[in-house]
Amino acid sequence: MEVGLNHFLILSTVLFGIGLYALVSRKNAILVLMGIELILNSCNINLIAFTRYGGLGVDGQVVTIFVIILAVAEAAIALGIILNLYNNFSTVNIDEVDSMKE
């Protein structure tokens, strides 16, 4: 079967599902962050697939660059938060961090 738009969309949907699974079931905060990266990547595949098959010019690729930039900023901030969490609670398991004040 010839590879077309649907193949890329299915690939990105499956990646989205896997990332969502990491978001709802992982315990370690850094692994939850990896799930967010997977979801952002699936969104990028969608944008680029529609750039290729939608006949809309390369605007989708420019938007993809902005998504990557925001992913970098988000990863840096999230790791700062996780390091702070570790300093305060000595754990990064998000089910054990359940008090707002020590």
Partner 1 sequence: MTLYSLIFYFFAVMTIVSAVYVVTTKNIIHSAVSLFITLFGIAAIYVLLYADFIAITQIMVYIGGILVLLIFGIMLTNRITDVDLKTKNLNSIPAAIFVTVLTALLIFILLTTNWKIAPFPSQDNITINNIGKLLLTDYLLPFEVASIVLLIALMGAAMYSRKEKTN
Window 42 to 81, contacts with partner 1 (CB under 8 A): 44-45, 48-49, 51-59, 61-62, 64-66, 68-77, 79-81
Question: Which C-beta is closer to partner 1: that of 37 or that of 98?
Answer: 37
For the CB of residue 89, give the shortest distance to partner 1 in the complex, in Å.
Answer: 10
Q: Does 5 bind partner 1 (CB under 8 A)?
A: yes
For the CB of residue 102, give the shortest distance to partner 1 in the complex, in Å.
Answer: 14
Give the separation between CA 75 and CA 99, rounded to whole angstroms. 24
Q: Please report, as residue ranges, which positions from 6 to 45 form the binding site for partner 1 (by CB under 8 A).
A: 6-11, 13-22, 24-28, 30-31, 33-35, 37-38, 41, 44-45
Give the separation between CA 50 and CA 56, rounded to whole angstroms. 8
Give the separation between CA 19 and CA 15, rounded to whole angstroms. 6
Residue 42 CB coordination number (10 Å): 20
For the CB of residue 100, give the shortest distance to partner 1 in the complex, in Å.
Answer: 17
What tokens appear for 53 in the block? Answer: 């098959």
Give the separation between CA 69 and CA 54, rounded to whole angstroms. 24
